[in-house]
Amino acid sequence: MSGQVIASWGWAIYDTAHFAANKLLPYAPLITPCVAIVVGGIAFYSIHVTRTIARRRATIDFFLKTEADSSIVKLFQAFDDHVEAVSKQINGGKALKEVVKSDEYKTVHACLNIHELIAVGIANKVFDEKVAYHYWSGALVGHCKDASKIIDFSRTDPDDLSA
């Protein structure tokens, strides 16, 4: 009896597959491109997700390296005091060529260059904008505001290529 049940199930499956094939066969030229479009969409989404993860990792790696490098940490710790010292030099009437030679100016310049590197990384989509904003925006905005007078002063140099 079990052999008859298996045989009847086999014929039922065969009949169902045959019926489906006869009904779907005329639509095969349409089904193939639809499947290809769905698979292509999945592939593009996968590339997008992979790229987003890579940007976030690059951003976190950069910030981790800046926090782990003791010389960079010392630069940023000295930033506020050096901004004050450079501002005093500017207010004292020193020429740009004199100010640029000071160690305080070099510290401020190095910190601002790191901020610029982050901005370039975001603009060129190497760094993830959200991760960079949440981690670094407070320091970046504060440092740029504190050093705005120095930035404007350094732009008065006709030989300065960054203006």
What is the rounded distance in angstroms from the CA atom of residue 88 to the CA atom of residue 82? 10
What is the rounded distance in angstroms from the CA atom of residue 125 to the CA atom of residue 80? 30
- Give the domain extent around 67: 2-154
The whole-number pLDDT of residue 156 equals: 75
Q: What percentage of the chain carries pLDDT values higher than 90? A: 24
The whole-number pLDDT of residue 130 equals: 92
160 belongs to a structural domain: no
The whole-number pLDDT of residue 163 equals: 41
Give me the residues of the chain with pLDDT under 50, please.
Answer: 161-163
48 belongs to a structural domain: yes
135 belongs to a structural domain: yes
85 belongs to a structural domain: yes
The whole-number pLDDT of residue 154 equals: 80
162 belongs to a structural domain: no
115 belongs to a structural domain: yes
Q: Is the pTM of this model over 0.85?
A: no
The whole-number pLDDT of residue 59 equals: 92
Domain count across the chain: 1
30 belongs to a structural domain: yes
> 106: which residues sit within 8 A by CB, 6+ positions away?
none
Q: Which tens digit of pLDDT belongs to each residue from 27-64?
A: 888 888 999 999 999 999 999 999 999 999 999 998 88
